[in-house]
């Protein structure tokens, strides 16, 4: 049920990133990496640079442990400074263009009864994703693997945990303008998100919105930022249950060792997003 045909670019990029991270110590050549995407060196270099905005060699620098550790050392300070200064442009805060709202207690109990969720599957720089909205508010953004089913029953199962009573309507045409606005560097109106969450989850997800693009923080830093320094494990659980990927940037939280760690939608995808954001924010 794709709105458009799957774009092979991300799958080729993902294979090359996985190869780069697995073989970093061996310093693979461009030809070796291009082989993973089944492309010539020239075509791979062009495809990768078009996708990331930088060369594969430069991109690899953003995936190193030293780079991640440096970002951890400065990330929280920069987030706080950017918040105070109200920065925009490449240093903009996520919460300048994402408005997060929790459902009311009454809406929580109704579990979506009387509500209509419009949904569709779109392509992104990081592969296909499922987008769901209630009115003008985003309630779901989940990345999908190419082989995952997108039939109506499979889609319904993805909404069942939070919105079991809602009516689901496929509507790619209505959602296309919103989908076009999500993965873009251009200035835009704030995107509104509606989540069904506990007060703790909402607090954690709000903290994620304050991490600027291109920066990372640790689970411990998020726990400290919400005033609960001993709750890093609970923070990790809340981050792992995020229903709106990318826009609520759970991918920007990594281990305090500098390792990127797990991601609900795959470690390779997390690596791709972090490297892509670093490349875009540092250009």
CATH number at residue 259: 1.10.10.10
**pLDDT value of residue 82:** 47
Q: Are residues 97 and 134 part of one domain? A: no
DSSP 132-191: EEETTEEEEEEE--TTS--SHHHHHHHHHTT-TTSEEEE-HHHHHHHHHHHS--S--PPE
**pLDDT value of residue 91:** 41
> What pTM was computed for the model?
0.87
Whose CA is closest to 11, among 105, 114, 147? 147
Q: Are residues 93 and 22 part of one domain? A: yes
**pLDDT value of residue 93:** 44
**pLDDT value of residue 118:** 97
**pLDDT value of residue 164:** 92
Q: Are residues 123 and 91 part of one domain? A: no
Q: What does the radius of gyration of the chain's CA atoms come to, in whole angstroms?
A: 19
**pLDDT value of residue 75:** 62
With 0-12 / 13-18 / 19 or more C-beta atoms within 10 angstroms meaning exposed / middle / buried, residue 150 is middle
Q: Are residues 240 and 173 part of one domain? A: no
**Does some domain include residue 191?**
no
Q: Are residues 52 and 38 part of one domain? A: yes
**Does some domain include residue 95?**
yes
Cα separation, 33 vs 23, whole angstroms: 10
Q: Are residues 101 and 20 part of one domain? A: yes
Task: Residue 37: give its domain's CATH number.
Answer: 1.10.10.60
**pLDDT value of residue 92:** 43
Q: Are residues 105 and 50 part of one domain? A: yes
Do 122 and 149 touch, CB atoms closer than 8 A?
A: no
Q: Are residues 80 and 135 part of one domain? A: no
**Does some domain include residue 156?**
yes
Place of tokens 């209509």: 116
Number of domains in the chain: 3
Q: Are residues 167 and 90 part of one domain? A: no
Q: Are residues 148 and 68 part of one domain? A: no
**pLDDT value of residue 283:** 65
| Residue numbers of the chain with a pLDDT score lower than 50 | 1-5, 78, 81-82, 84-95
**pLDDT value of residue 1:** 46
Condensed to tens digits (0 to 9), the pLDDT of residues 94-115 reads: 445 788 999 888 887 888 899 9
**Does some domain include residue 1?**
no
Residues involved in catalysis: 250
Q: Are residues 81 and 134 part of one domain? A: no
Q: Which structural domain range is residue 235 located in?
A: 199-281
**Does some domain include residue 3?**
no
**3-state secondary structure string, 113-125?**
CCCEEEEEEEEEC
Of 182, 211, 236, which marks where a domain is finished?
182
Condensed to tens digits (0 to 9), the pLDDT of residues 224-234 reads: 999 999 999 99
**Does some domain include residue 104?**
yes
**Does some domain include residue 187?**
no
Of 58, 81, 111, which marks where a domain is finished?
111
CB atoms < 10 A from the CB of 197, how many? 22
């Amino acid at each position: 049920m794709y709105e458009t045909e799957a774009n092979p670019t991300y799958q080729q990029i993902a294979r090359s990133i996985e190869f780069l991270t697995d073989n970093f110590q061996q310093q693979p050549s461009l030809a070796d990496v291009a082989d993973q995407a089944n492309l010539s060196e020239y075509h791979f270099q062009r495809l990768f640079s078009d996708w990331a905005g930088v060369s594969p060699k430069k991109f690899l620098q953003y995936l190193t442990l030293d780079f991640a550790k440096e970002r951890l050392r400065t990330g929280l300070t920069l987030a706080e400074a950017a918040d105070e200064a109200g920065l925009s442009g490449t240093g903009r805060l996520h919460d300048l263009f994402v408005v997060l709202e929790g459902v009311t207690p009454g809406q929580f109990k109704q579990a979506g009864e009387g509500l209509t969720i419009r949904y569709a599957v779109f392509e992104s720089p990081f592969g296909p994703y499922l987008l769901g909205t209630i009115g003008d508010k985003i309630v779901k953004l989940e990345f999908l693997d190419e082989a995952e089913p997108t039939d109506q029953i499979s889609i319904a199962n993805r909404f069942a945990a939070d919105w079991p009573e809602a009516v689901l309507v496929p509507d790619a045409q209505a959602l296309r303008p919103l989908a076009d606005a999500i993965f873009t560097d251009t200035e835009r109106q704030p995107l509104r998100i509606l989540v069904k969450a506990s007060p703790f989850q909402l607090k954690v997800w709000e903290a994620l919105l304050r991490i600027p693009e291109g920066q990372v923080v640790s689970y411990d830093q998020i726990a400290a930022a919400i005033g609960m320094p001993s709750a890093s494990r609970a923070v990790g659980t809340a981050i792992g249950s995020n229903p709106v990927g990318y826009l609520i940037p759970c991918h920007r939280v990594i281990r305090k060792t500098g390792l990127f760690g797990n991601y609900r939608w795959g470690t390779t995808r997390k690596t791709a997003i972090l490297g892509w954001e670093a490349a875009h924010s540092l250009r």
